[in-house]
Structure 1
Amino acid sequence: MLFVHTSDNAQLLFILKLNALYETIHLRKRPEDVAALVQDALQGTLSKEEGEILAKAAGAALRATVWQYTSMLEAFAKVTGLEKQVSKAMELFRLDDSPAGAYDDPEVVEQFIARVSPLIHKNPGYSNYKTDRLNREERAAAGLDLSRRRYNKLFRCLRRLETKLGILIRERQKSLFQRTGKHGFAEDITREDFTGDVNSACFIAYYTARCNLRSEFTVSGQQRPYDEIADMLFKRCAAGGKQTNWWAIAQVYVKTNVLEQLTDDQQGALLGKWTALLQQVASFLEDLWTQNEFNRTSMVVKRGNDSTTWNNTAGAWNKARDSWLNLLYALGMEFVLEDMCPGKVMRLIAADVAAWHHMVGSKGDPNLLVWSQLPLPWEVFSGREACNRTMVEAACKSAGLDTGKSGWIAPRPQGVVPFRPTPELVHGVAISNPYLAKILKQHKYFSGKDIKPLSPEQN
């Protein structure tokens, strides 16, 4: 019989707990369920007060409830790869070997197209059906012993695959912006860095889950991610000394009290990452702006607007911009704002939410006034339009906004909010029962689409 030392068992169990936490930063788990995993990882090390604070969330984990079920997806939507299309191309070209790698990776698909295109003397990217095909004489000169019908079939196959590749690249970019707009660069944290310090791991996992909360249909504002539980976990990191992995924390929580713990090289590297993201998002926002017709003054969504993509991308811009601002101040480079200070991007708002705001006497979001007065942020970031700190300050003043607290020209002050349970949402509307929520989703309630009324048997 093989005996394992008790300490070895305990160490293995601890590693498994940290690995379970690590998996959550790639998912969209409820904060309560992540808090329960944090409770497991910190077992025996929490003070009485810390345990009581954490229990506010952990006590509402699915494993501790009667339902033990949520109707909300616990992962971000995956982008469908091109396995089906590549397999069909292999069949048509009569290839036995498959490309190395995953078919959801655009680079792998692009390499496949580059490898197969020469088989019919086609240049990748040149897919015009009128001008880029070879005629009979050209096929004969190239040594292609193919009928016109078969050649056209292979040409169309590659043409469609290139079109699908373009869609795949765009969808992956949209997915990336949605995720980074929520939790920053959490997915860049390696397993080794994450598991190197338990307090850092617990804060990152819980704070990421809070950042991933879905938007709620409300006029009272969305939940702020930094709640009393996140604050308690952060204080444990602050007391951890050199053991705390500030670089890993900075991937999701770009605040002054974190950045000051980094080296100059680390701060510079992080500034480069966020600046590169701003550049990518700016280009995508400009495309969306030209493809849609938005009411810039109200930002109320109209029929035909791709509000989901716009709001996700706007969220990515604002997240990147906040982090960029924080890093400029941490590096003593706020003088950059005197020459270039691109503004925030406002999200689209549903007409019924706008009407609700009006009914309760709200005069509207003053940030909209600033947004509508300033040059478009992507034009400023690209250098085509000028917008500096003075212009933003003037716009904020005319809108009645405090420039020191609004986040337009300086890091937004960090506050601690009380923990609030995660609501069960159906298209932003809170539903008390997760099973009812599932049924309402299936019948398209609150979706803006034609609903499928519940039959008596389903009531």
Structure 2
Amino acid sequence: MSHKTPDRDPVLQELHASLGQRRRPEDIARLVLHLLDDGRGGEPPLDGRTRRALEKAARGSLPDLWHGYTSMLEDFARPVGAQRQLSRAAELFPSLPELPDSAGDDPEQIEAAIRTAGQEIAKRFGASDFLSDRLNRAQRKEAGLGEMSKRQYNKRFRLLRRMEADLAQLLTEQRKLEVTVIGKSGLASRLPYEEFAADPGTAAFVAYLTARANLRSEFTVSGQQRPYDEVAHALFRRLRDDPARTNWYAVAHVHPTAEVLDRLTDGQRGRLLAFWYRFLLDVAELLETAWKRQPLDRATMIVRRGDDSTSWNQAARAWTKARANWFALLHAMGAEEVIERLCPGKVLLLVAADVAAWHRQTGGGLHPDTGVWADLPLPWQVLRGETGCPRSLVEETCRRHGVDPVAGGWTEPRKGVRPVPFRPTPELVHGVEVGDPLLASVLRSAGFFSGRPPRPAAQELAPDRDA
């Protein structure tokens, strides 16, 4: 299917930029109303049901609220770039060209700068040991650096050494960010603008569902909000009513249901399948790294002292997303026999001890999937072929723990998705809902709900214990 690429519409550009951010769904709904009401790209007029759903959500957008403010960041935490180091390197190494600020976030440009600067002091990239890799006086003279003092040489060597270490850290943090974003909203953030904006109706659905998927987790025992709500359903129904116009490949990046995948070409399904399998391999490596740092209590999955719950849960969410989408694509391509032989299990999240205690107080207990996860081989061992995990083993383990392997998503993709009612985005402080965004800002800066005692200056905000 060919799609005409529209002009660079400001609303479409803002919606596209939101795919890698954490914009409130209410604000995205407001933009979608502008997009579809203006008839961009010859869009059909909004039907009454879709308009009412969008207006219901858009009433909570920041421009329509009296305070017009949210205490929560509207972006994911980004790694610190190397802009400052590149600026300093440009002062010390004349051979470095002038670089834009964006170069500080680009590992390839950073590495190229380090290599170029290293040539000025005869330093190889990666040879950064301060004792064994520095040149002595004779070696500096032989390298044509006889006029450079030892102090000036050491200053440059130390800078490049720090830049190499910072580059490795930047690569690690960028990889974690990618895992976090994909684990929340699938491949939406990877959509090129031309693919995203080819059909405004498709762009509206993808942007809204992505915003819903990127919502922060809440401190609760009643389950997290599900992304596919009544607004997303209304927008999806418009796509279903005009299938020839819809860019189903773009939709599959964020909503790869059987209905959507069946509309793709074999080539499109193959590209998505390849990506999700490679991504599974990458996430399995992150899970293994976290596991080797400190093995978890698989029998309960309750956080213990020393557990890196943030890294584990980010990778576990990404694994769950990738595994479900990989299964869905295998079924869409008629390749279910792969799952018969290779059926790695789901990966459970670590649960905070206070949440686990809350579950027990309300009559709950361990999640039914915990026992299945504990008895199956670890996923990285399965993907490397070190141990087998066929579908029959997963089904047997599920039966032993009283879990339905199909309904629980252990052996097949979930059959469908039902819309949930729209719910306004809560104002959260470390996962705890706070009614007012200004109060949320005060509580966050004071250190409440962070797992640590409030800062001394904020003690007056704390409740009176005696009272």
If the TM-score is normalised by the length of the shorter chain, which range does it land in? over 0.9
Question: What letter corresponds to residue 62 of structure 1 in structure 2?
Answer: L
Aligned to 2:443: 440
Q: Structure 1: where are the runs of 5+ without partners?
A: 1-10
Aligned to 1:147: 149
Q: 2: CA distance between counterparts of 1:358 and 1:290? A: 30
Deviations, residues 240-284 of structure 1 (Å, cap 9, x unaligned)? 121100011111111111110000001001111111211211112
Deviations, residues 359-387 of structure 1 (Å, cap 9, x unaligned)? 11112101111111111111211222221
* Mapping 1:93-108, distance limit 5 Å: 93-95=93-95, 97-99=97-99, 102-108=103-109
Aligned to 2:388: 386
Q: 2: CA distance between counterparts of 1:294 and 1:153? A: 43
* Mapping 1:61-210, distance limit 5 Å: 61-95=61-95, 97-99=97-99, 102-145=103-146, 146-210=148-212
Q: 2: CA distance between counterparts of 1:90 and 1:200? A: 45
Could you tell me how far 1:214 is from its partner in structure 2? 0.6
SS in structure 1 at match of 2:302: coil
Q: 1: CA distance between counterparts of 2:302 and 2:180? A: 20
CA contact (8 A) 2:96 2:116 kept: no
Q: 2: CA distance between counterparts of 1:76 and 1:32? A: 18
Question: What letter corresponds to residue 436 of structure 1 in structure 2?
Answer: L
Q: 2: CA distance between counterparts of 1:74 and 1:401? A: 38
Q: 2: CA distance between counterparts of 1:332 and 1:429? A: 44
CA contact (8 A) 1:99 1:112 kept: no
* Mapping 1:246-261, distance limit 5 Å: 246-261=248-263
Name the CA shift for 1:280/1:431 in 2 (closer, same or farther; >3 Å).
Answer: same
SS in structure 1 at match of 2:428: strand
Aligned to 1:29: 23
CA contact (8 A) 1:196 1:245 kept: yes
SS in structure 1 at match of 2:433: strand
Aligned to 1:57: 57
CA contact (8 A) 2:229 2:419 kept: yes
Q: 2: CA distance between counterparts of 1:256 and 1:56? A: 29
Deviations, residues 328-365 of structure 1 (Å, cap 9, x unaligned)? 11111111112211111111111100100111111210
Q: Which moved more, 1:131-140 or 1:187-196?
A: 131-140
Aligned to 2:42: none
Name the CA shift for 1:257/1:96 in 2 (closer, same or farther; >3 Å).
Answer: closer
Name the CA shift for 1:357/1:122 in 2 (closer, same or farther; >3 Å).
Answer: same
* Mapping 1:271-420, distance limit 5 Å: 271-413=273-415, 414-420=417-423
CA contact (8 A) 2:96 2:113 kept: no
Give the superposed CA RMSD: 2.1
Question: What letter corresponds to residue 117 of structure 1 in structure 2?
Answer: G
Could you tell me how far 1:457 is from its partner in structure 2? 8.9
Name the CA shift for 1:246/1:122 in 2 (closer, same or farther; >3 Å).
Answer: same
**How many residues end up aligned between the 2 structures?**
448
Q: Which moved more, 1:70-79 or 1:215-224?
A: 70-79
Could you tell me how far 1:154 is from its partner in structure 2? 2.3
CA contact (8 A) 2:217 2:224 kept: yes
Question: What letter corresponds to residue 82 of structure 1 in structure 2?
Answer: A
Q: 1: CA distance between counterparts of 2:224 and 2:432? A: 13
SS in structure 1 at match of 2:244: helix
Q: TM-score, normalised by structure 2?
A: 0.91
Q: 2: CA distance between counterparts of 1:51 and 1:144? A: 71
CA contact (8 A) 2:20 2:181 kept: no
CA contact (8 A) 2:95 2:116 kept: no
Name the CA shift for 1:304/1:457 in 2 (closer, same or farther; >3 Å).
Answer: closer
Q: 2: CA distance between counterparts of 1:150 and 1:293? A: 46
Q: Structure 2: where are the runs of 5+ without partners?
A: 1-5, 39-44
CA contact (8 A) 1:21 1:37 kept: yes
Could you tell me how far 1:426 is from its partner in structure 2? 0.6
Could you tell me how far 1:298 is from its partner in structure 2? 1.6
Question: What letter corresponds to residue 126 of structure 1 in structure 2?
Answer: A
Q: 2: CA distance between counterparts of 1:232 and 1:401? A: 33
CA contact (8 A) 2:187 2:254 kept: yes
Say whether residues 1:228 and 2:230 are aligned partners. yes
Aligned to 2:41: none
Question: What letter corresponds to residue 427 of structure 1 in structure 2?
Answer: H
Could you tell me how far 1:395 is from its partner in structure 2? 1.6
Aligned to 1:423: 426
Could you tell me how far 1:88 is from its partner in structure 2? 1.9
CA contact (8 A) 1:274 1:320 kept: yes
Question: What letter corresponds to residue 13 of structure 2 in structure 1?
Answer: N
Could you tell me how far 1:213 is from its partner in structure 2? 0.8
Could you tell me how far 1:439 is from its partner in structure 2? 0.6
CA contact (8 A) 2:381 2:387 kept: yes
Q: 1: CA distance between counterparts of 2:351 and 2:123? A: 46
Q: 1: CA distance between counterparts of 2:57 and 2:371? A: 38
